[in-house]
Structure 1
Amino acid sequence: MTEHSSSNAYWSANIRVIFICLAIWAVVSYGFGILLRPVLASIPVGGSDLGFWFAQQGSIVIFIALIFYYAIYMNKIDREHGVDEE
């Protein structure tokens, strides 16, 4: 029973972090890049507006940050549940 509940806790934590990353990805790419672009158009950034910046470059920067966050957080979860690589 202990191994089964530990396995469930590990996968629950894993799925939770995946959903958080997917939610941030959706908000940044779809929300800021498409839906909120007219609202963000009034904020100048580097010769353009913030909505254009998010659609073209900001979303890529956020995606790379999400990759690092996911890797670091999953290593922490792996250590906590005893399934790390070391």
Structure 2
Amino acid sequence: MSEKQRKATAYWKENVRYLILLLLIWFLVSYGAGILFKDVLDTVKLGGFKLGFWFAQQGSIYIFVLLIFVYVRLMNKLDKKYGYDEE
């Protein structure tokens, strides 16, 4: 295996790790906070609404958009690390 192939393999392994982590966070926020932990979160109010309801309606969308920006930042760093930012 050439050095270029090793670098590409390491790049994609790290990329997949980032994807799995970010998708896990999104799953926990959208499904977990909105459905599984709804009863526990409903004991807290945010802006007059129960927190479980808020996550189900708006919170998971905000977190998803935030995760997009986090992914872009992580990928820019990863591109620089492996030298793919020059193209």
Structure 1 length normalisation: TM-score? Answer: 0.95
Letter in 2 for 1:51: G
Aligned residue pair count: 86
| CA–CA separation in structure 2 for the residues paired with 1:47 and 1:85 | 49
Letter in 1 for 2:55: F
TM alignment of 1:62-73, pairs within 5 A: 62-73=63-74
| CA–CA separation in structure 2 for the residues paired with 1:58 and 1:35 | 15
Structure 2: unaligned runs, 5 residues or longer: none
Aligned-residue offset at 1:85: 4.5
Aligned-residue offset at 1:33: 0.4
Aligned-residue offset at 1:48: 1.0
Aligned-residue offset at 1:2: 1.2
Aligned-residue offset at 1:14: 0.6
Tell me the secondary structure at the aligned position of residue 83 of structure 1.
coil
Q: Which residue is 1:55 aligned to? A: 56
Aligned-residue offset at 1:15: 0.4
Q: Which residue is 1:14 aligned to? A: 15
Where do 4+ consecutive residues of structure 1 move more than 2 Å?
none
Tell me the secondary structure at the aligned position of residue 85 of structure 2.
coil
Letter in 1 for 2:75: M
Superimposed CA distance per residue, residues 46-77 of structure 1 (whole angstroms, 9 cap, x where no aligned partner):
11111011001111110011000000110100
Structure 1: unaligned runs, 5 residues or longer: none
Tell me the secondary structure at the aligned position of residue 17 of structure 2.
helix
| CA–CA separation in structure 2 for the residues paired with 1:85 and 1:3 | 15
